[in-house]
């Protein structure tokens, strides 16, 4: 259709390039919003979150795809679903093609609370295929409720061999020395002397409001659900619950949404389940459907937990260790239903919660299988990442790895060393100091 074409050169080209760059800068500027609740912890993180919002808007303006990876739990979904909705709206604003959002944005759940090699390799492989086959740009990778720990670094490194920028918004105990050289932006409350109480969902609701202006009150219930899911002990939880109440959500219903999200995440496995999850959370979903779906899903989840605990509880072994803490052990491989909800991590967590309720703190619970152990503790000063390092030093042939938060996490080892490692683990836990202030935050 073009009969004649002249290329700009020299100063004219420079001028056009500058104007384009200036207008992209202008349009990448995030929406000017204030935090939903007045909380210094969130205020401190605001400039960091604005930087991530700016980068994401710019990525959309440049027609570069975004791959969003998130922990497949309640908080991870409260983080990723609002950001997904905001990015879809912004993509619709910018791109005339109604299908653009399908090519430019993918939300992908990760089973582990860190970026696994399997996921990273798949992400890289799909990105390179999309580039080769459809001429797409290599994506930007957005890690939510995932990405901050030393365990994430092999995956980050895999990705970093290619031109794929990585942005991280997470609240797992971070290892900035290992992670920061590999990622473009790393937002984590621990980097500001805060902790996991600031959940990823709380941060990402603010991020979503910065990405798409005019979100209104449609996300007002989400931070409370995120906090409930990750057992946030923040004082500001009462403000978030109040905000949710004003949006028509009673606290009991928020708990049900949290359970329903967890239940759906289990059955969806590697599928994002976009429309289903949008309905359950009622973010870009159908509010009436949510009212029908959530109580049903929550009841199913509760029934399945009961069934699991009926089988497991008679097999829980108990001892009082030298520090005075109550220690409970359960073999989740042999005394729990397998391949069904709840998985070993949550099964251990549910047993732990019951024991805390029965016995009061301090309580330590270990759920173990042939080559793994899930650890939960309340009121005990533990440092799981450090324990892993010590076990590795003491037992070079046990292949101990893992970590997580300080007082809750999971470790892996080779199955032939199970008895040795479990005994050593119990000994270390028995020595751990009692501290009423320390609580299990995350269950999985």
Burial code (b: 16+ CB inside 10 Å, e: under 16) for 104-115 equals bbbbbbbbbbbb
Tell me the window of 26-34, 223-231, 238-246, 351-359 that interacts with Mn ion (CB under 5 A).
223-231
**Nearest residue (CB) to Mn ion, 87 versus 202:** 202
Indicate the residue among 130 and 170 with the shorter CB distance to Mn ion: 170
SS3 content of the chain, % helix, strand, coil (to 5): 55, 15, 35
Q: How far is the CB of 167 from Mn ion (least distance, A)?
A: 17
Closer of 114 and 372 to Mn ion (Cβ): 114
Main-chain phi, psi angles of 306, to 5 degrees: -55, -45
What is the closest distance, in whole angstroms, from the C-beta atom of residue 171 to Mn ion in the complex? Answer: 6
**From 206, 230, 256, 262, residue interacting with Mn ion (rule: CB under 5 A):** 230
Interaction between residue 145 and Mn ion (CB under 5 A): yes
170 or 256: whose CB is closer to Mn ion? 170
Rule CB under 5 A: say whether 152 interacts with Mn ion: no
Minimum Å gap between C-beta 408 and Mn ion is 11
User: Which CB atom, from 158 or from 232, has the smaller least distance to Mn ion?
Assistant: 232
Asked if residue 262 binds Mn ion (CB under 5 A), the reply is no
- Rounded CA gap, 30 and 208, in Å? 10
Stretch that binds Mn ion, among 156-164, 227-235, 289-297, 414-422 (CB under 5 A): 227-235
Helix (H, G, I), strand (E, B) or coil at 210: helix
Q: For the CA atoms of 123, 127, 133, 135, what is the dihedral angle to 10 degrees?
A: 160
Helix (H, G, I), strand (E, B) or coil at 399: coil
CA distance 172 to 4: 58
**Piece in contact with Mn ion (CB under 5 A), picked from 192-200, 348-356, 403-411, 421-429:** 192-200
- Among the candidate windows 95-103, 124-132, 230-238, 431-439, which touches Mn ion by CB under 5 A? 230-238
Closest CA to 226 of 423, 77, 371, 332: 77
Shortest Cβ 363–Mn ion spacing (Å): 22
Separation of alpha carbons 111 and 116, rounded Å? 9
**350-389: which residues touch Mn ion (CB under 5 A)?**
none
Identity of the residue, 152 or 230, whose beta carbon is nearer to Mn ion in the bound complex:
230
Indicate the residue among 59 and 440 with the shorter CB distance to Mn ion.
440
Residue nearest to Mn ion (CB): 75
For residue 230, the minimal CB distance to Mn ion (Å) is 5
For residues 183 and 150, what is the distance between their CA atoms, to the nearest angstrom?
Answer: 12
Kindly state the number of chain residues that form the binding site for Mn ion, as judged by CB under 5 A: 4
Q: Kindly identify the residues of this chain, within the stretch 29-88, that bind Mn ion according to CB under 5 A.
A: 75
Nearer to Mn ion, 57 or 70 (CB): 70
- Pick from 170, 213, 206: which is nearest to 29 by CA? 213
Using an 8 Å Cβ cutoff, are 244 and 224 in contact? yes
| Buried b / exposed e along 297-323 (16+ C-beta atoms within 10 A) | bbeebeebbeebbeebeeebeeeebeb
- Binding stretches for Mn ion (CB under 5 A): 75, 145, 200, 230
């Amino acid at each position: 259709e073009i009969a004649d074409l002249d290329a700009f050169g020299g100063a004219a080209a420079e001028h056009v390039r500058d104007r384009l760059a200036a207008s992209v800068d202008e349009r990448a500027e995030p929406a000017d919003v204030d935090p939903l609740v007045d909380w210094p912890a969130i205020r401190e993180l605001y400039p960091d979150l604005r930087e991530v919002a700016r980068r994401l808007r710019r990525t959309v303006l440049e027609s570069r795809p975004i791959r969003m990876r998130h922990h497949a739990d309640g908080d991870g979904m409260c983080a990723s679903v609002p950001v997904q909705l905001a990015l879809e709206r912004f993509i619709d604003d910018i791109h005339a093609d109604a299908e653009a959002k399908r090519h430019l944005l993918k939300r992908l759940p990760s089973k582990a609370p860190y970026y696994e090699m399997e996921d990273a390799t798949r992400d890289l492989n799909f990105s390179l295929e999309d580039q080769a086959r459809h001429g797409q740009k290599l994506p930007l990778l957005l890690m939510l409720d995932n990405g901050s720990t030393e365990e994430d670094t092999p995956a980050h490194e895999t990705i970093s061999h290619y031109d794929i920028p990585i942005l991280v918004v997470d609240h797992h105990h971070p290892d900035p020395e290992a992670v920061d050289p590999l990622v473009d932006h790393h937002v984590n409350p621990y980097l500001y002397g805060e902790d996991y109480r600031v959940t990823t969902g709380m941060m990402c609701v603010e991020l979503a409001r910065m990405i798409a202006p005019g979100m209104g009150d449609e996300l007002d219930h989400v931070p409370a659900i995120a906090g409930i899911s990750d057992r946030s002990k923040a004082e500001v939880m009462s403000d978030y619950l109040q905000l949710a109440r004003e949006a028509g959500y009673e606290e009991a219903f928020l708990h049900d949404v949290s359970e329903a999200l967890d239940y759906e995440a289990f059955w969806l496995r590697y599928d994002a389940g976009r429309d289903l999850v949008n309905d359950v959370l009622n973010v870009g979903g159908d509010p009436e459907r949510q009212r029908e779906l959530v109580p049903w899903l929550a009841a199913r989840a509760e029934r399945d937990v009961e069934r699991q605990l009926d089988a497991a509880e008679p097999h829980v072994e108990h001892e009082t260790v030298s520090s005075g803490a109550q220690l409970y052990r359960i073999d989740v491989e042999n005394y729990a239903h397998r391949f069904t909800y709840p998985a070993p991590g949550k099964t251990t967590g549910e047993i732990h919660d019951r024991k805390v309720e029965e016995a009061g703190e301090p309580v330590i619970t270990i759920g173990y299988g042939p080559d793994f152990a899930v650890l939960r503790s309340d009121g005990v000063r533990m440092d799981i990442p450090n324990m892993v390092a010590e076990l590795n030093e003491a037992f070079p042939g046990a292949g101990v790895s893992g970590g997580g938060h300080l007082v809750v996490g999971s470790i892996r080892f080779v199955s032939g060393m199970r008895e040795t490692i479990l005994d050593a683990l119990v000994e270390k836990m028995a020595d751990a100091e009692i501290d009423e202030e320390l609580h299990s935050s995350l269950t999985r």
